[in-house]
C-alpha cells in the first residue's frame, strides 16, 4: 500500500514503470528498489528457503541480511532490497539457491558511464553516513584528500530515513531532521578535496606494504584502491529476535520499516506490533502513526520503557498501549504474518502461563537493537572484543578511534552503537586523527582546537542518562586498550 498523504514527507516518486513478476505485469516507480515496488503491490513472499522451503520476504531492507534474494532477468540471488527497479525487468520468486544464470545473462546496471575508480588515495573512508561524511569533511579541512565509498546509490547512510528532529546541542545540527542533516553533510563535502564513490561495495581490506588495499566492487567490476589510512564508518546491522516463525514475511526490522515508509512511501502493513520500547521502537511507532498505519501495541521485555519519555508520551496520547515486561511468543500465518501472540514475562524473562494474548496484526516490527558492522576491521587484523554496552562485538580502538591496526580507524555505529549525533563527532575525531597522521606539518593549533571541540561535544552528548551505557562501554574499551599498551610496555 502506498502512502498518499504524509505530514512531513512529499514522496517525489519517479516515472511509473512496468515490470514483470512471476509472469504478471506490475507497476512500480523509477528510483525505488525491486523489494519496495513488490511490497507496494502486496507481494510479501520473495523466495522459498533452501532446505525447509519456507516463505521468505525481506528483513533488513539495507542489503545486510540476504533474506530478499530473488531471480531477476534470469540472474539468481539478486539482493532485491537494494537493487533499483528498472522498466521491463523480469522478477521471479526464487526457489532455494536458484538456477545458475544462462551464459551472458547480466543484471542491467544504471549509468554505463560510471566514474573511474582511482588506484590510490591518502585516505579511504568506507560508509557515507553521518560518521563517514564528517570524517571526510574534517580531514578535508586539514587538506587531506579522501575517497568516500558507499554501497548505496544515495549518500547519507541511515539519515535518509530519519524524519524526526535531533535532540542535543550539536551546533548547526540541533533541531534539524535527520534527512536534512544528511543533505547538509553532502553539501559540506562538496567544498572538500573528497570524492564520493557510491554504488560501490568494499569486499575486503588487506595489508599492502606500508599502506592498505581495499578490494572494491562497482557495477559488476572489481577494482583495487590503495590508501595510507582507512576510516571504517560502516554502521550497524539490525538485530533479529528468535521466536516461532520469526522468519515469516511481515516480520521486519525497524530500519526496514523506516526505509519502506520514509524513503519509498510504502506502508509496511495496516496493523503493526512493535517489539522494543527503546528510542528506535518509539520513534518508528510514531512515524507509523504519521503514515496512517495502526500500531496495535509496543512491547518490551524490560520492566521499564527504554527510550525517551517524551517519545513514549506522544504515542500513548495517540492511543497506543506500551506493554513493558512483555515478549513475543510467535507470529502466525501461511505465507505472511496474520497474527502475533505475546505474553507477559516474569522477572527471569520467562513467559507467564495464561498471560498469552493474540493480536490481529499483519506486521511485526523488531526494534531490538543493532550490532556494529566491524567485519572489515576484523579482517584487517583488529581484535574483536565483546562490549555489551556497545552492541556486542566491536573492533578494539582507542580515543582517536584508531584500531589496534595502525592506520585503520573505526567510527560511528560501527565502533559501538550510539546515535547519529555521536557518529558525526566520532567521524570528525577519526578524520582529524587520520589527518594528523597523513599531514605531518598540519597546523597543530587548528588540529587541537577542532579535536577539543569534537571531544567536548561527545562528552556532552554522553553526559545525560541515555549516554550512560555507551559512555560506560567506551570507557571499558579504552581501559582494555590501555591495559594492552601497559602489557606491551611491561614486557
Partner 1 sequence: MRDDVVICRCEDVTYGDIVRAISGGLSTTEEIKRILRCGMGPCQGRTCSRLIARIIASETGATIDDVEFPVVRPPTMPVEIGVMADEHHED
Residue closer to partner 1 by CB (options 150, 188) is 150
Q: Is 332 in the site for partner 1 (CB under 8 A)?
A: no
C-alpha cell at 485: 599498551
Q: In what order do the strands lie in the sheet with 322-324?
A: 251-253, 363-366, 271-275, 294-300, 322-324
Which pairing describes strands 384-387 and 392-395: parallel, antiparallel, or unpaired? antiparallel
Which listed range, 23-31, 133-141, 195-203, 437-445, lies at the site for partner 1 (CB under 8 A)? 195-203
Residue closer to partner 1 by CB (options 203, 313) is 203
In the complex, minimum distance from the CB of residue 387 to partner 1, in angstroms, rounded to a whole number: 9
Reference 254, options 389, 346, 349, 370; nearest CA is 370
Q: Give the DSSP letter string of 326-346.
A: EEEEEEE-SSS--EEEEEEB-
Residue closer to partner 1 by CB (options 36, 216) is 216
CA distance linking residue 187 with residue 84, whole number of Å? 24
Cβ(343)–Cβ(318) under 8 Å? no
In the complex, minimum distance from the CB of residue 357 to partner 1, in angstroms, rounded to a whole number: 19
Q: Give the DSSP letter string of 379-434.
A: HTTPPEEEEGGGTEEEE-B-TT-BBSSTTEEE-GGGGS---HHHHHHHHHHHHHHH
Q: Is 141 in the site for partner 1 (CB under 8 A)?
A: no
Q: Name 357's bridge partners.
A: 342
Q: Choose, by CB under 8 A, the member of 32, 92, 247, 296 that binds partner 1.
A: 247
CA distance linking residue 475 with residue 175, whole number of Å? 28
Contacting residues for 130 by C-beta, under 8 A, at least 6 apart = 157, 159, 181, 182, 185, 412, 420, 421, 423, 424, 427
Q: Give the DSSP letter string of 449-471.
A: HHHHHHHHHHHHHHHSGGGHHHH
CA distance linking residue 427 with residue 431, whole number of Å? 6
Which listed range, 239-247, 257-265, 407-415, 428-436, lies at the site for partner 1 (CB under 8 A)? 239-247
Q: Is 201 in the site for partner 1 (CB under 8 A)?
A: yes
Helical spans, DSSP H, in 28-164: 34-40, 130-141
Binding mask 394-433 for partner 1 (x = CB under 8 A): ----------------------------------------
Q: Choose, by CB under 8 A, the member of 99, 169, 191, 221 that binds partner 1.
A: 221
Interface size with partner 1, residues (CB under 8 A): 46
Residue closer to partner 1 by CB (options 118, 204) is 204
In the complex, minimum distance from the CB of residue 399 to partner 1, in angstroms, rounded to a whole number: 22
Residue closer to partner 1 by CB (options 249, 306) is 249
Helix axes 130-141, 420-438, angle to 10 degrees: 30
The CA R_g of the chain, rounded to the nearest whole Å, is 23
Cell 502493513 identifies what position?
Answer: 269
Q: Is 237 in the site for partner 1 (CB under 8 A)?
A: yes
Q: Is 59 in the site for partner 1 (CB under 8 A)?
A: yes
In the complex, minimum distance from the CB of residue 104 to partner 1, in angstroms, rounded to a whole number: 10
Of residues 338-377, those binding partner 1 (CB under 8 A): 371, 373, 375-376
Q: Choose, by CB under 8 A, the member of 14, 153, 165, 222 that binds partner 1.
A: 222
Q: Is 302 in the site for partner 1 (CB under 8 A)?
A: no
Q: Which helix (H) or strand (E) holds 47?
A: strand 47-48
Cell 515478549 identifies what position?
Answer: 327
Which listed range, 87-95, 202-210, 404-412, 465-473, lies at the site for partner 1 (CB under 8 A)? 202-210
Cβ(133)–Cβ(159) under 8 Å? no
Residue closer to partner 1 by CB (options 147, 320) is 147
Environment class of 330 (CB within 10 Å of its CB; exposed 0-12, middle 13-18, buried 19+): middle
CA distance linking residue 158 with residue 182, whole number of Å? 9
Q: Choose, by CB under 8 A, the member of 12, 42, 52, 317 that binds partner 1.
A: 52
Q: Choose, by CB under 8 A, the member of 9, 34, 202, 481 that binds partner 1.
A: 202
Q: Is 116 in the site for partner 1 (CB under 8 A)?
A: no
Binding mask 60-99 for partner 1 (x = CB under 8 A): x--xxxxx-x-------x----------------------
Of residues 142-181, those binding partner 1 (CB under 8 A): none
Residues that bind partner 1 (CB under 8 A): 49-52, 54, 56, 59-60, 63-67, 69, 77, 201-206, 215, 217, 220-222, 237, 239-240, 242-247, 371, 373, 375-376, 378-379, 384, 386, 388, 392-393
Amino acid at each position: 500500500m502506498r502512502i498518499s498523504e504524509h505530514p512531513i514527507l512529499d514522496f517525489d516518486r519517479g516515472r511509473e514503470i512496468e515490470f514483470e513478476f512471476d509472469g504478471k505485469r506490475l507497476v512500480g516507480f523509477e528510483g525505488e528498489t525491486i523489494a519496495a515496488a513488490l511490497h507496494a503491490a502486496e507481494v510479501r513472499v520473495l523466495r522459498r528457503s533452501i532446505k525447509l522451503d519456507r516463505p521468505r520476504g525481506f528483513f533488513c531492507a539495507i542489503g545486510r541480511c540476504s533474506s530478499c534474494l530473488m531471480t531477476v532477468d534470469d540472474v539468481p540471488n539478486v539482493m532485491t532490497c537494494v537493487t533499483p527497479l528498472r522498466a521491463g525487468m523480469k522478477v521471479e520468486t526464487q526457489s532455494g539457491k536458484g538456477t545458475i544464470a544462462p551464459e551472458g545473462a547480466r543484471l542491467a546496471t544504471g549509468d554505463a558511464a560510471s566514474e573511474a575508480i582511482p588506484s590510490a588515495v591518502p585516505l579511504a573512508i568506507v560508509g557515507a553516513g553521518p560518521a563517514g561524511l564528517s570524517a571526510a569533511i574534517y580531514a578535508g579541512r586539514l587538506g587531506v584528500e579522501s575517497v568516500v565509498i558507499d554501497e548505496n546509490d544515495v549518500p547519507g547512510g541511515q539519515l535518509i530515513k530519519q524524519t524526526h528532529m535531533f535532540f542535543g546541542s550539536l551546533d548547526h545540527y540541533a533541531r534539524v531532521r535527520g534527512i536534512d542533516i544528511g543533505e547538509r553533510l553532502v553539501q559540506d563535502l562538496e567544498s572538500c578535496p573528497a570524492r564520493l564513490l557510491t554504488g560501490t561495495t568494499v569486499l575486503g581490506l588487506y595489508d599492502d606494504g606500508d599502506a592498505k588495499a581495499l578490494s572494491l566492487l562497482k557495477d559488476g567490476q572489481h577494482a583495487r584502491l590503495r590508501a595510507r589510512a582507512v576510516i571504517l564508518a560502516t554502521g550497524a546491522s539490525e538485530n533479529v529476535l528468535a521466536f516461532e516463525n520469526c522468519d515469516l514475511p511481515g516480520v521486519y526490522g525497524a530500519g526496514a520499516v523506516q526505509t519502506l515508509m520514509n524513503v519509498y512511501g510504502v506502508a509496511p502493513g495496516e496493523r503493526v506490533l512493535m517489539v522494543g520500547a527503546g528510542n528506535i521502537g518509539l520513534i518508528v511507532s510514531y512515524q507509523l502513526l504519521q503514515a496512517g498505519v495502526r500500531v496495535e501495541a509496543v512491547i518490551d521485555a524490560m520492566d521499564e520503557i527504554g527510550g525517551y519519555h517524551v517519545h513514549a508520551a506522544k504515542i500513548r496520547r495517540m492511543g497506543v498501549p506500551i506493554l513493558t515486561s512483555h515478549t513475543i511468543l510467535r507470529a502466525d500465518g501461511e505465507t505472511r504474518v496474520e497474527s502475533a501472540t505475546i505474553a507477559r514475562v516474569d522477572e527471569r524473562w520467562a513467559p507467564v502461563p495464561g498471560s498469552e494474548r493474540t493480536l490481529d496484526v499483519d506486521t511485526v516490527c523488531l526494534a531490538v537493537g543493532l550490532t556494529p558492522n566491524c567485519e572489515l576491521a576484523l579482517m584487517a587484523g583488529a581484535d574483536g572484543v565483546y562490549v555489551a554496552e556497545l552492541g556486542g562485538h566491536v573492533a578494539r580502538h582507542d580515543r582517536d578511534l584508531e584500531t589496534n591496526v595502525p592506520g585503520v580507524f573505526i567510527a560511528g555505529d560501527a565502533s559501538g552503537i550510539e546515535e547519529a549525533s555521536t557518529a558525526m563527532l566520532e567521524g570528525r575525531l577519526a578524520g582529524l586523527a587520520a589527518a594528523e597522521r597523513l599531514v605531518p606539518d598540519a597546523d597543530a593549533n587548528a588540529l587541537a582546537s577542532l579535536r577539543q571541540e569534537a571531544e567536548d561535544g561527545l562528552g556532552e552528548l554522553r553526559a545525560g542518562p541515555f549516554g550512560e551505557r555507551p559512555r560506560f562501554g567506551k570507557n571499558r574499551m579504552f581501559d582494555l586498550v590501555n591495559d594492552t599498551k601497559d602489557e606491551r610496555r611491561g614486557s
